[in-house]
Amino acid sequence: MDVDLKSAETQFALELIQAGSELARRVRAETSIRSIIKPDHSPVTLADMSIQALAGALLEKYLPEAVLVAEEDTDHLKTPEGAEDLEKVTVYIHSFFPQATSGDICRWIQRGQGQPTGTFWTLDPIDGTKGFLRGGQYVTALALIQNGKVELAAIGCPKLDLQDHKALGKGVGIFAARGQGCWSASLGGLKELKNWVRLEVSRCREISEARVLDSFDPEHKNVEKDRRIRKELGIQPEPIVLDSMAKHVVLASGGGEIFFRTLPRKEPSHREKIWDVAPGALAIEEAGGRVTDLEGRELDFSAGITLARNPGFVATNGLLHEVVLEALQQATKS
């Protein structure tokens, strides 16, 4: 692994996914986990808010001038109804920063409201919140973006074990840097170079044998269209259904060949949030795969908090990309 684990950027990224995964496990182990429904009707948990606070605190430690663009804010925590939740978040953060006040925590969370221009970090503290609540897969996902391109990514996967790397056990961290490959280690061993193994995509060339990774949440897909695409491609294996960016990690590690997200029938103008795509996209590319939008264009992360110039998302092992794109484009026209 030809990566400087001592650089401030790498230390920040690895410490965040390790601490974030530990915190998420702790929250998940509680008997009563509840979600708060945001104005866009998506759920958020105290784990989301706590991990974003961790990110703000660790940036102050390692990269005080850095910009963070993240999913959560403090609107709920600053209401009378949110006071108790703020106290709980403060307790969680005290395990890592014992002197933190509620004011510190709100400031650290709000740091995620940075502007997505030039060089910045983007974070999804809990990607796959519904999976987290249900006991399925979820991840903490972080990426460094410079001038519209993802340069570094780190993903903490507390519940994932990799089919071809069973020795790592359940709970893995992923690190990818542009031009330096995609790597994985046990979440407990991220600080030692010797613990990392290189990930590579599958070398499958037969489309009929390809394994499609699919979202668990039906709201994230057009079920009928996706089924038609698989039939048109002649794909025989049943889809591998997972929550969160764990799908990207499985593809990068050779556990599947194809993942795509078509446009929702009810919302054809939908565009993905950058924090939902950037970390996994770099992991797949650095493992030897290919990532584009539905029209075959490279993803452009310079258009704000969404991939405004890129409809949909297609990731493959690279060898099958053109045939998948052709089928997707045909399905889009029909």
Q: Hey, which residues does 292 pair with through a beta bridge?
A: 314
- 3-class secondary structure for 260-317? EECCCCCCCCCCCEHHHCHHHHHHHHHCCCEEECCCCCCCCCCCCCECCCCCCEEEEC
> Active site includes 48?
yes
Rounded CA gap, 265 and 183, in Å? 36
Phi, psi (rounded to 5 degrees) for 238: -70, 150
For residues 82 and 46, the answer to whether their CB atoms sit within 8 Å is no
Out of 45, 48, 140, 276, the active site residue is 48
Structure tokens at 222: 């057009």
> Active site includes 217?
no
Out of 10, 90, 129, 316, the active site residue is 129
CA dihedral for 22, 27, 30, 31, sign (positive or negative)? negative
Q: Which residues are catalytic?
A: 48, 129
